[in-house]
Amino acid sequence: MNKRFILYGVIIALGSIALKMLEYKFIIINHSFELYGGALAIGFTILGIYAGKKFTKPKEREIIIEKMVYVPTPPSNDLINQKAVADTGLSKREYEILELMAYGYSNQEIADKIFVSISTVKTHISNIFIKLDATRRTQAVKKAKELNLIS
């Protein structure tokens, strides 16, 4: 009895395969342009996806680290001893440069901060040396502190 069922199943399977083959032949002959166009479209879609993944790799992420830095600022002009500044004969610009010298800035850094050339800064420093009777930056700063020009 089992042999009959198996034989019957095999015959039905072969028949359905034969019908599918006929249907396949019918589709290929009558609709060949659409099938080839669809196959070509699928091929280009796969190629496009591959090329897109290969050539458009994501860029490396930048990591930005923010850090708080304390930068001392010169005291405002309200806090200075105006009389002492007038007695020494320092101009506002010379006083400003003297404050920046006291904070330890170089000539180039001073020039960058107050937007003048480095030769202008050097000229102002030489005038400060003359007016405070000093020969070095440290002497000028020390005298300015003694006269309460800077803190």
102-131 pLDDT, tens digit each? 999 999 999 998 899 999 999 999 999 999
Together in a domain, 87 and 47:
no
Taking residues 74-100, report their average pLDDT.
77
pLDDT at residue 79 greater than cutoff 90: no
CA angle 51, 54, 55 (to 5 degrees): 80
Domain that holds residue 29: 2-55
Together in a domain, 93 and 37:
no
Together in a domain, 46 and 100:
no
Q: What is the pLDDT of residue 52?
A: 79
* b/e burial code for range 69-80 (CB count within 10 A of at least 16 → b): eeeeebeeeeeb
95: CB partners within 8 A, 6+ apart: 80, 85, 149
Element (H, E) at 109: helix 107-114
CATH number at residue 89: 1.10.10.10
Cβ(102)–Cβ(72) below 8 Å: no
In degrees and rounded to multiples of 5, residue 104 shows phi and psi of 90, 15
Count Cα atoms within 13 angstroms, Cβ side, for 146.
10
Q: Is residue 70 part of a domain?
A: no
Taking residues 20-32, report their average pLDDT.
68
Taking residues 40-58, report their average pLDDT.
81
Together in a domain, 87 and 36:
no
